[in-house]
Homo-oligomer: A and B are copies of this chain.
Amino acid sequence: MDKILRINMGSAKGPELKTEPLGAYAGLGGRAMTSTVVAKEVPPTCHALSAENKLVIAPGLLSGSAAAMSGRISVGCKSPLTGGIKEANSGGQPSQMLARLGYAAIILEGKPKDDTLYKVLINKDGVTISPANELKMLGNYDLVEKMKAQHGEKIGCISIGPAGEMKLSAASVAFTDMELRPTRHAGRGGVGAVMGAKGVKVIVIDDAGTQMRSPKDPDKFKAANKEFTAGLRKHPVTGQGLPAFGTNVLTNVINEAGGYPTRNFKEGQFEGAAKISGEAQAKLENERGGEGSATHGCHRGCVIRCSGTFYDKNGRFVTKQPEYETVWAHGGNCGIDDLDAIAQLDRMDDDFGLDTIEMGATIAVAMEAGLAKFGDAQAAIRLIKEIGQGTPLGRILGSGAAVTGKVFGIERVPVVKGQSMPAYDPRAVKGIGVTYATTTMGADHTAGYAVTANVLGVGGTVNPLKPQGQVELSRNLQVATTAIDSTGMCLFIAFAILDQPETFQALLDLINGFTGLSLTADDVSNLGKSILKLERDFNRAAGLTKIHDRLPNYFKTEPLTPHKVTFDVSDEELDQVFNF
């Protein structure tokens, strides 16, 4: 990874391609790369859809190597949803492929002079960009089929669906998985709208003729990788829970803990949880034959393999195994307990290019507004269809929960910085509430996954129902996560490295063996802190203040069943998260 591909979409003569050396960005990967480029090159007060914003796509530092779990990719920009900086993270194949082709980042910048839509093709011979108006308003699935027909079965695709083309604030960027399906998404914050504003429909990557990236110290790297992999296989979460039931193993766990947001965050337990749990889902998937549950990684090199395939009752592919957050968003949060309907909603979100978390939260707000009844799966499907059709209602919904709440006059909208909360009620899982409130990203569970110590007993234990200890827990996780998001590693490695010092050491050895550096745990922590500072400074300059580091007031006043708890971490404590 020794170069950056920069495409100026606003050049007078049409898109202008430039391949640059890394320069000041050398040594950065993933979130460290995207956030540094955005902080350095994007004016914080610019309009997110303007020429001044940039979309940065960056493989992790270890992507393209043999390091296990290193295939995650970051997408960064100023977010049209939050108004702040954004890093949205995805699995899929493109990270490994881009890294092998030597690209540490793709930067899309400028604003197209007209509404021509473009296709970018990257292979070992270089980069081409060409008009592709025939792709307009294609769903991601049809789009990828077309790309396969044109470029063969060994490509990877980074694309937007109709939502991104319409520049809707809940639009995602899709990444193809190992089966060349557009099932992996940089979902959050409307990164797809920014790609749409740049006029790029799809980036096709063909890494034929390239090699795996080589470590500086092959022996150290190989030994560390072995130890690291063993550590992941040993830990109960990454070695058993996730492989057996996928991320949806959490439904029963979080519901049991009384922190499962139900019907637009009105209750903390869902009576239909068992019907949509990971256990029920695995059983169903296995019954329907073909590839069963938990048989897949989202990218080559994954050893956890928390994914799978969801077939309909006739054994036809519907979607990848829906994730916990998706099952919750379209399930319990909408009062829906029908796995087939949820899988269909997941498929539609992926096809239109929409963040499933934002969509589930939005449909629930729409249900609260009376557009449909909680529990009405067919109505939810109809509402999501409106987005694909680009109707006015569809555009409202595709703009996310905050806009939907505003347009329909609804007060109870579970967002922070305009972004919807994920699948943990902050009143009953207070550590994640601190993360929702304070992360630079808007409400986001992956930014500091305090569910670990709050509920799972991983990385220690902090009572989820009490305010004590949550700020420190969230801070430490936010710092560590920022570093992990820069390596290209899947965040799920955190379970093992939090609990097993030897696995954490193996990760350090892996990084050092690959890069030839001698990073310590402190160095990694300092990297995390320095990126968080960059992000926070960007947000400050964009007009986000500590007032925006708060949950909506009703979380402080409406007690949540069954524990009858409110969010009671004080504002003063929240302001101590960034004490470095």
Interface of A toward B, CB cutoff 8 Å? 43-47, 49-50, 52, 80, 166-169, 193, 196-197, 391-393, 395-396, 399, 403, 406-411, 541-543, 545, 547-548, 550, 552-554
Contacts and interface: CB of A to CB of B under 8 A. Distances in A.
Contacts of A393: 392
A409 B168 contact: yes
A166 B409 contact: yes
A60 B446 CA distance: 53
Question: How many copies of this kind of chain does the complex include?
Answer: 2
Contacts of A408: 395
Contacts of A548: 543
A43 B167 CA distance: 34
B49 A409 contact: yes
A399 B522 CA distance: 49
A411 B50 contact: yes
Contacts of A407: 168, 392, 395-396, 399, 403, 407
Instruction: State the main secondary structure of chain A at its contact with B.
Output: loop
Given A553-B46, A553-B52, A169 B406 contact: yes
Contact of A193 (B168, B392, B396, B409): B409
14 contacts: A43-B553, A45-B547, A47-B411, A47-B552, A47-B554, A49-B411, A50-B554, A196-B409, A197-B411, A391-B392, A392-B407, A396-B396, A399-B406, A541-B547
A407 B408 CA distance: 14
Contacts of A52: 553
Nearest to A83: B547
Nearest to A193: B409
B45 A550 contact: yes
A568 to B, nearest CB: 16
Contacts of A541: 547
A474 B290 CA distance: 72
Nearest to A171: B409
A28 to B, nearest CB: 27
A166 B406 CA distance: 10
A109 to B, nearest CB: 15
A385 B221 CA distance: 68
Contacts of A166: 409
